[in-house]
């Protein structure tokens, strides 16, 4: 891959500077506030806008910590996506429709990946933010980009609500700016099939995915494929089981790999209240993963991903930002933050879901959701430890 300059990838050119305090950087954009995949799509709910509103209501964004995501230039995407697909995606927004041939080849204009008014600008902004993160981390640091994490897109097609694969693009950007060995950890409820397709054969990458078994896209069976390590977990995964997975598998794998950068896809759809999975985690599980991976490399990028309950996803990614900044989680949110959550709406679901439990308005951190560790989960972790050689000394190869 040819190196990307700091100006050729992004539109408009973005002036890059390291914050004097070396504090974490939050990347976002207002395009997500007014953009929706449509009134009946799971991504009709507000997500990134809630994070921006909550972090500011909490006083957690200091001057210089927020950067507006730039929109990627089409030609910069050719480092991974095909020129034909990029052109088709751009043209679909201009024309507001796709032909049957384009739909069949590129999987756009479908129920999952619909044509909508910002279908180029929105993913191009997400991709721009993730590629910007790679540039910002050239000298080390921490970046949180909640609009990132679209891990299903393929080089020539959309998939699973994902039009561009910004995790792959972020990894390529990190590599172009000095990070050779990169560990990618994905705790979304859905397997990261697009990232695995792009990077599983890259010996300088480690991919670790913990995802619900038999959940779309039904890839990622237990085992190791190239540099990818997959752990499908059963329904009802609880915080205690996740803590064991984190302590005995994820952290040792990343530590053994000795990465120059860690990218965490922190999909919020693995929590109990999410409508598109059947896992039972609290957001504390995600916070523990964010904290555990932070010291394992000099460069740390935390992306968003799935998450389809507006209250749980906004609280979770806001809490991620709090963990990255060492903020104390309030026992009860201040008035301004509660007002942000109380104003959210979730149309097209049963009334019970449209009226959230009081704790989804009043608190940021869930109560723990602990439970027994099932023998099946323990055995699968032991199997992966064995086949990945975690007991071996030195770098993994």
Looking at the domain assignment, is residue 92 inside a domain? Answer: no
> Does 334 reside within a domain?
yes
Across the chain, which has 397 residues, the per-10-residue mean pLDDT values are 44 41 90 94 97 98 98 97 98 98 98 97 98 98 98 98 98 98 98 97 97 98 97 98 98 98 98 97 98 98 98 98 97 98 92 89 98 98 97 45
Active site residues per annotation: 152
Q: pTM for the whole thing?
A: 0.94
pLDDT of residue 352: 74
Q: In this structure, what CATH number is given to the domain that contains residue 184?
A: 3.40.800.20
Number of domains in the chain: 1
Task: Kindly state whether residue 219 falls inside one of the protein's structural domains.
Answer: yes
**301 φ/ψ angles, rounded to the nearest 5 degrees:** -120, 125
Residue 9 lies in a domain: no
In terms of residue numbers, what domain contains 302?
21-71+122-387
Q: Report the candidate in 234, 251, 253, 218 with the shortest Cα–Cα distance to residue 376.
A: 234
**pLDDT value of residue 348:** 85
* pLDDT for the residue 5: 40
Residue 10 lies in a domain: no
What pLDDT was estimated at residue 393?
Answer: 44
37 within a domain of the structure (yes/no): yes
CB 66 within 8 A of CB 54: no
The strand pairing partners of 145, in sequence order, are 303
Q: Is residue 90 part of a domain?
A: no
Closest C-alpha among 139, 253, 140, 144 to residue 205: 253
Tell me how far apart the alpha carbons of residues 331 and 359 are, in angstroms, rounded to a whole number: 10
Q: Is residue 108 part of a domain?
A: no
């Amino acid at each position: 891959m040819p190196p990307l300059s700091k100006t050729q990838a992004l539109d408009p050119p973005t002036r890059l500077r390291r914050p004097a305090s070396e504090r974490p950087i939050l990347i976002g954009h207002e395009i997500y506030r007014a953009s929706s995949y449509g009134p009946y799509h799971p991504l009709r709910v507000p997500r990134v806008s809630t994070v921006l509103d909550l972090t500011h209501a909490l006083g957690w964004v200091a001057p210089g910590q927020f950067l507006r995501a730039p929109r990627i230039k089409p030609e910069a995407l050719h480092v991974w996506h095909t020129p034909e697909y990029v052109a088709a995606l751009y043209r679909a927004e201009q024309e507001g429709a796709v032909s049957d041939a384009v739909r069949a080849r590129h999987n756009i204009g479908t129920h999952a990946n619909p044509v909508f008014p910002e279908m180029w600008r929105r993913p191009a902004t997400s991709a721009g933010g993730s590629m910007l993160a790679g540039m910002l981390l050239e000298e080390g640091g921490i970046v949180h980009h909640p609009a990132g994490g679209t891990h299903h897109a393929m080089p020539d097609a959309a998939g699973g609500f994902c039009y561009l694969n910004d995790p792959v693009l972020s990894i390529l950007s990190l590599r172009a700016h000095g990070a050779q060995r990169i560990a990618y950890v994905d705790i979304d409820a859905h397997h990261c099939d697009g990232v695995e397709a792009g990077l599983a054969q890259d010996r300088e990458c480690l991919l670790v995915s913990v995802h619900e078994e038999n959940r779309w896209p039904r890839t990622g069976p237990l085992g190791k494929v190239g540099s990818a390590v997959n752990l499908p977990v059963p329904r009802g995964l609880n915080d205690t089981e996740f803590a064991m997975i984190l302590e005995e598998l994820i952290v040792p794998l990343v530590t053994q790999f000795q990465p120059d950068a860690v990218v965490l896809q922190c999909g919020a759809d693995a929590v109990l209240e999410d409508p598109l999975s059947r896992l039972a985690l609290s957001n504390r599980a995600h916070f523990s993963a964010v904290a555990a991976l932070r010291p394992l490399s000099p460069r740390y990028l935390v992306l968003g991903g799935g998450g389809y309950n507006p209250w749980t996803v906004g609280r979770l990614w806001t809490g991620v930002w709090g963990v990255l900044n060492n903020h104390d989680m309030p026992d009860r949110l201040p008035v301004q933050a509660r007002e942000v959550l109380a104003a959210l709406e979730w149309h097209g679901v049963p009334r019970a879901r449209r009226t959230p439990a009081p704790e989804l308005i009043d608190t940021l951190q869930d109560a723990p959701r602990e439970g027994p560790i099932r023998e099946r989960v323990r055995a699968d972790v032991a199997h992966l430890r064995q086949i990945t050689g975690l007991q071996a000394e030195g770098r993994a190869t």
